[in-house]
Amino acid sequence: MVIEKLTETVGFLKSRIKNKPRIGVILGSGLGHFVQHMQIEVALPFGDIPNFIPPTVEGHSGNLIFGKIEGIDLVVLQGRLHYYEGHSMETVVFPARVMALLGIEILVVTNSAGGYGDGMKAGDFMIIEDHINLMGNNPLMGPNIKELGPRFPDMTQAYDPELIETAERIFRSQKTFFHKGIYVGVTGPTYETPSEIKMFKAIGGKAVGMSTVPEVIAANHFGLRVAAISCITNLAAGVSEKKLTHDEVTETAKKVEQKFCAFLTEFVTKI
């Protein structure tokens, strides 16, 4: 039973931390250096946490980190599980649910994504305004766990409008160019075909990625406020002639990591 596993994990973590975290952060591929900006209090490899599963993807280290930035208590997931790794949706959202049960009020999700919005370039950022779930699954399938939220959660403001405004303000003040738009969530692990990207553009998307949607659904189920930022690590298939590689994704993420960390460190202190 998920709820029993969650209770065990949350009990284990609570016995190791002094303060309740207010904000949870999920760091995407190649964006893990954010934790160097924190005063780290407790860092636990996924393998040391009951019911956590170590990630298998390169560029995802797999640590749960508790600490502060300017006095604000954070819990940070450095590395995440993806559906394409073969995990169930329930397993993919387990860490987000643990953060929710630890008492966070806000979940900040980051990811790397392929861009196909007008004017996008590799290295740009996109504030996610909404998503389209094309993963063919949903983490809330199956009997509802009422301790975690209602049977039919509302998703009208899945991405909190006030948090979107704050993110815009910070990007502007830091003179960092950004987009706002819809993220299309797919399973991967193949990158898309050019025709799929044309379809995503036709239905209103600007970015595509293989994560985020499950965690954002689980967080909304729980009633958390959610913000999400994509790092456009590459132009999506067919937008550029180039073949896509995971190396390009991690290299771009590394290049923009400093700007990304500057944004995120300010963002967590202003929300």
Please give the residue ranges that form the binding site for ligand HPA (CB under 6 A): 112-114, 188, 191-192, 208-210, 233-234, 236, 244, 249
> Among residues 13 and 253, whose Cβ is nearest to ligand HPA?
253
CA distance 253 to 33: 11
Closest distance of CB 140 from ligand HPA, Å:
23
CB of 29 to ligand HPA, least distance (A): 7
- Looking at the Cβ atoms of 100 and 122, the one nearer to ligand HPA is 122
Helix (H) or strand (E) holding 182: strand 178-185
Of 124 and 266, CB closest to ligand HPA: 124
Contact of 9 with 60, CB cutoff 8 Å: no
Give the shortest CB-129-to-ligand HPA separation in angstroms.
Answer: 18
Cα–Cα dist 115/124, whole Å? 9
Q: Which is nearer to ligand HPA, 120 or 170 (CB)?
A: 120
> Least separation, in Å, of the C-beta of 230 and ligand HPA?
9
Closest contact distance (angstroms) between CB of 240 and ligand HPA is 10
**Chain position whose Cβ is nearest to ligand HPA:** 114
Cβ nearer to ligand HPA, comparing 160 with 192: 192
Give the Cα separation of 96 and 100 in Å (integer).
6
Question: Does an H or E element contain 113, and which?
Answer: strand 106-115
User: What is the rounded distance in angstroms from the CA atom of residue 102 to the CA atom of residue 200?
Assistant: 36
CB 71 within 8 A of CB 47: no
Residue 152 gets the label, from left (phi > 0), alpha (psi -120 to 50) or beta, of: beta
Q: How far apart are CA 103 and CA 98, in angstroms?
A: 9
What residue has token string 């094309």? Answer: 134
The smaller minimum CB distance to ligand HPA, of residues 48 and 247, is found at: 247
**Shortest Cβ distance from residue 45 to ligand HPA (Å)?**
24
